[in-house]
Structure 1
Amino acid sequence: MHIGLSIPQYGRFADPELAAEVSASAELIGYDSLWVGDRLLVAAAPRSRYPGGDGTAPAEQQVFLDPLTILTVAATATSRVRLGSSALNALWQPPVLLARTLTTLDRVSGGRLDVGLGLGWSRDEYQAAGVPWAGRGARLEETLDVLERVWAEGDLVEHQGAVWTVPPSVVRPKPVQRPRPPLLLGGFSAATLARVGRRADGWLGAALPVPVLRQMWRSVQQHAEQAGRDPEALRLVVRVNPVLTAEPAPENQVPQRGTFGQLLGYLTHLVGALGAELLVDLHYAAGDAEEYLALAGDLHDALRKEAGR
């Protein structure tokens, strides 16, 4: 069982010192990976609905630390755990700059980086970043092309595409991990699932009913087979952002809401049914830093106990 934990990054937990403390403690507890998310802004009059709840972005997301900076904090506070993004918006900076930052982070961490990329959902964030909303899928495909070329072996990097041009250039150093850091893609559209199967190392899912996730995961695997790839080599990472309650929640609200036992049941079912890697985000479950760490320890112990049965 692979168990991941969110790094304190937003809302009341947006504190770099706390991020370092929790990262180091999570590694000692035995967590396998640490993760960040990505939020640029929360628009006062949003043009896009938040993909969850009533469509309104949680107030906690109005305060959000930069994901790659916080991953760097975690890298320097740890020595073993994997470090990932779920998910970094891939299109808010040119891919050559993104490749340089990710390469540096992979080297700072000693080759522990998992590159999780997505397209986001907010038109307002795209407008603020100066990136067109239309054509996001094609821009992501070209972004992946550039990342792969920059990270590949060889003396020169060159790319000529619809959006970006990289003249024949020396771009060094390369990442520690070869041929590249693991590349995971998030999203739920048919095009995204096909893209994961064709060219990614795994899929970043979310806390949906297990039958729904199973159907989507099968689609990813089928696309991998069609592309001549080994579907069994792909990873499935599922992010869960629970609100813990004292009384049991209706089953249709689990795992978004529920008791500790209901959350534990969903997570163990997810692993048993799909072999998923877990990513538990405690930003909405904990009231303060002390509870954040206590919950992290209790959850890890309970999951390991369930895995040993």
Structure 2
Amino acid sequence: MTQLSITLPSYAAEPPGDWEHLLAVARAADVTGVDRVVLSDHVVFGENLEEYGRPEIGGAAGGTQPTGPDGLWLEPLTTLSVVAGMTGSVRLGTNIIVAALRRPVVLAKSTSTLDVLSRGRLDLGVGAGWQREEYEAAGLPFEGRGKLLDHTLDVVTTLWRDQRASHSSAHLSFEGIHQMPKPVQPGGVPIWVSGTLHGAVLRRIARYGTGWIPWGPDAADPAAIGRMREGVAALGRDPAGLQVVGTLPTVATADGRVDVPATVDAIGPLAEAGYTDLRGKVPLPAGGQAAVEEVLGPLVAAFRQAVGR
């Protein structure tokens, strides 16, 4: 089943006064039947934002950050907790959270709590990040951050799963640890692994992944889906059922409104290519929840018709 996700406006280049627009978008997404809302993560910024344009350290070639170092970025799990309390069915996702910046035991607790209170609606999209300064501010090494992410996911999934949890690694050891409540969702909170395909990312998907969030050149290459599935199968996991995020190009009219028919035309080819979760940055008006619903309602209806739901 192909799903529709939208990005919540959880950051701003200048102080927005309040964040009511974010909350209005979340409520409207819930009412109109959007499948998932997702938001981004930065804990801190350094002053070398041009590093984001370097794919060799995890950035995007030619990419630029949408704010300067003093841009306002809401913490994603805290924000999703607020959204969970005012919605009832839309799924809540991170796209992505730099998971290794959080202590694993605390991340396990906060995500379990949010999953319980949202009645099993949380999706955890994770990545290693690109910014050295975030790791330095957290007292963590930037080099080897992929291994730190794997360690974080190993501890988190152990605590989600085991009634009496134990772990031993170079980073930490514990035995006989009880952390309750467990997530509502069987097997724990679904983990969506972000990254460009290489050995470590493939191993991460195979071990932890419910889905893959393509990054870099793979994000624009439908053939990468086949390579991901082949790589996961070679690691001994059946890739059937693995979800894949794709970008839904939102076409705008001359006056800046969503051109629903033109936008929907892209859905069929993307679904046929194997993308199962289409995420769009939809231009939405700032006139409150009703105005946002007027935009999202027709888009959701057309999307569902296009994918046969």
Q: State the Cα deviation string for residues 115-143 of structure 1 (Å, max 9, x = none).
A: 11111111222222322111112111211
The residue number in structure 1 matching 2:89 is 80
Which string of whole-angstrom CA distances, capped at 9 and with x for unpartnered residues, describes residues 136-175 of structure 1? 1211121111012101133x21111111223432222211
Using structure 1 for the length normalisation, give the TM-score: 0.83
Is 1:36 the counterpart of 2:39? The answer is yes
The whole-number CA distance in structure 2 between the counterparts of 1:287 and 1:206 is: 29
- Structure 1, unmatched stretches of 5+, are 248-257
Note if 1:288 corresponds to 2:291.
no
Amino acid at match of 1:32: D
How far did 1:244 drift? 4.3
Name the aligned partner's letter for residue 229 of structure 1: R
Gaps of 5+ in 2: 54-58
Q: Percent identity?
A: 31
Amino acid at match of 1:19: L
Contact 1:8/1:14 (8 A) holds in 2: no
Root-mean-square deviation over aligned CA pairs: 3.0
Cα distance between partner residues in 2 of 1:162 and 1:209: 32
Tell me what 2:22 maps to. 19
Offset of residue 216 of structure 1: 2.0
- Would you say 1:246 and 2:254 are equivalent positions? yes
When normalised by structure 2's length, the TM-score is: 0.83
Does the 8 Å contact 2:251/2:262 carry over to 1?
no
Aligned residues: 295
Matched residue, 1:188: 196
* TM-fit CA distance, 1:63: 1.8
The answer to whether structure 1 residue 144 and structure 2 residue 145 are counterparts is: no
- Per the TM alignment, residue 266 of structure 1 is displaced from its structure 2 partner at its CA by 3.3
Determine whether 1:94 maps to 2:103. Answer: yes
- Matching residue's letter, 2:302: A
User: In the alignment, is the contact (CA less than 8 A) between 1:87 and 1:116 conserved in 2?
Assistant: yes
Q: Which residue of 2 aligns with 1:230?
A: 238
1:221-243 deviations in whole A, cap 9, x for unaligned?
Answer: 12322233221121112245868
Question: Conserved in 1, the CA contact under 8 Å of 2:260 and 2:302?
Answer: no
- Deviation of 1:260 after TM superposition, in Å, equals 6.1
Change (3 A) 1:206 1:276: farther
Structure 1 residue 71 and structure 2 residue 69: aligned?
no
Q: AA paired with 1:140?
A: L
Deviations 1:228-281 (A, max 9, x none): 32211211122458684639xxxxxxxxxx976654433442123214211222
What CA distance in whole angstroms lies between the structure 2 residues aligned with 1:14 and 1:204?
A: 32
Partner of 1:251: none
For residue 126 of structure 1, the aligned residue among 123, 131, 135 is: 135
Describe the SS at the equivalent of 1:59.
coil
**Structure 1 position 292, deviation (Å):** 5.1
Query: 2-side partners of 1:299 and 1:14: how far apart?
Result: 29
Q: Which residue of 1 aligns with 2:56?
A: none
2:65 and 2:84 map into 1 onto residues whose CA distance is 29
- Does the aligned pair in 2 maintain the 1:7–1:19 contact within 8 Å? yes
For 2:263 and 2:68, how far apart are their aligned partners in 1?
21
3-state SS of the aligned residue for 1:115? strand
Compared with structure 1, are the counterparts of its residues 209 and 128 closer, same or farther at alpha carbon in structure 2 (3 Å cutoff)? closer
- Higher RCO (CA < 8 A, seq sep 6+): 2
